Amino acid sequence: MGRFWSILFLLVPILGVGVFVWAMAGLWPMAGHWLPENVNDHGHVIDNLFMFILILTGVIFIGTGIALFWFLWKYDSANNAAPVAFTHGSHTLEVVWSIIPAAALVFIAIYQMNAWADAKMRRPTLADGRVKPEIAEVTGRQFEWRIRYAGKDGIVGTEDDVQVVNDLHLPVDEEIVLKIKSQDVLHSFFLPNLRIKQDVVPGMKQFVWFRANKTGVYDIVCAELCGWGHYKMRGRITLESREDFDRWLAKAYDEQNQAQYTPATGEAE
């Protein structure tokens, strides 16, 4: 039976890698079972890092998996007449297999710092060096996303703001800054196709930024449990050219003022 069990453990790296490769190739029945389309200029960094770690860990996964299989196969008591190697360890080996992974881990740690800083710390700036103001403010509440555009004056929170629910429109090919917050419990503003995720916390405000490079309509997902309706807290993000966006915003402004829209209580800051 030792042979059988050795092979069972060998199947772990074989099938493990197989499933990943299969999914990456998008073959039936796993079409689209991989990183979803990325339309953010900064998103590639995350995808590349993911792939880099996948390859690195994949090598370790295969290496240790094969070692496990080979030792089980070779030293099966049913087929192995040699006496056991009576050893308590090896100082040299311990040093080697501590230093090599340590070096690899330190490398990954340092290598990714820049990507993290770009995503969460280095907010885009204007030509004069000031931080770029937000184009819109998104507020999560049970169970919808309320969106407020700056309007003509470029400032959120004034008379000419445009307000919509769950329907975020943004122009492509420019740095977008969004201010996101929560009105009640925790939510998380997740844009899978832009590799953006940020929890929103009542009492705090957060900023996310990205530069979309493709027009289209994508999902806004709530990724932090916010109550029974968490699953249906779904918004849509429409990425369009600057002209289309301006036209849409103007139309939304007109419609809103015709309808005498008044914000619900509790929404004003």
Q: Which does 90 bind (CB under 5 to 8 A by kind): Cu ion, another protein, none?
A: another protein
Least CB distance from residue 127 to another protein, whole Å?
Answer: 25
CB closer to another protein, 82 vs 259? 82
Reported as type and span, the H/E element at residue 16 is helix 2-25
Smallest distance, another protein to C-beta of residue 199, A = 5
| Shortest Cβ 71–Cu ion spacing (Å) | 31
Buried b (16+ CB within 10 A) or exposed e, 187-201: bbbbbbbbbbebbbb
66 binds, among Cu ion, another protein, none (CB under 5 to 8 A by kind): none
Of 188, 217, 176, 144, nearest in space to 41 by CA: 176
The single residue listed with the structure tokens 């509440």 is 141
Q: How many CA atoms lie within 13 A of 213 on its CB side?
A: 8
- Give the nearest distance from C-beta 142 to Cu ion in angstroms: 8
Instruction: Tell the smallest beta-carbon distance from residue 150 to Cu ion (Å).
Output: 26
Distance CA 56, CA 72 (A): 25
109 versus 259: smaller Cβ distance to another protein: 109
For another protein, the closer of residues 98 and 257 by Cβ is 98
Q: Which of 65/151 has CB closer to another protein?
A: 65
Distance of closest approach, residue 2 Cβ to another protein, in angstroms:
5
Q: Which is nearer to another protein, 215 or 256 (CB)?
A: 215
Nearer to another protein, 105 or 155 (CB): 105
| DSSP-based three-state secondary structure for 263 | coil
**Which positions touch Cu ion (CB under 5 A)?**
187, 222, 226, 230, 233
Partner that binds at residue 101, options Cu ion, another protein, none, CB closer than 5 to 8 Å by kind:
another protein
Residue 261's binding partner among another protein, Cu ion, none (Cβ under 5 to 8 angstroms by kind) is none
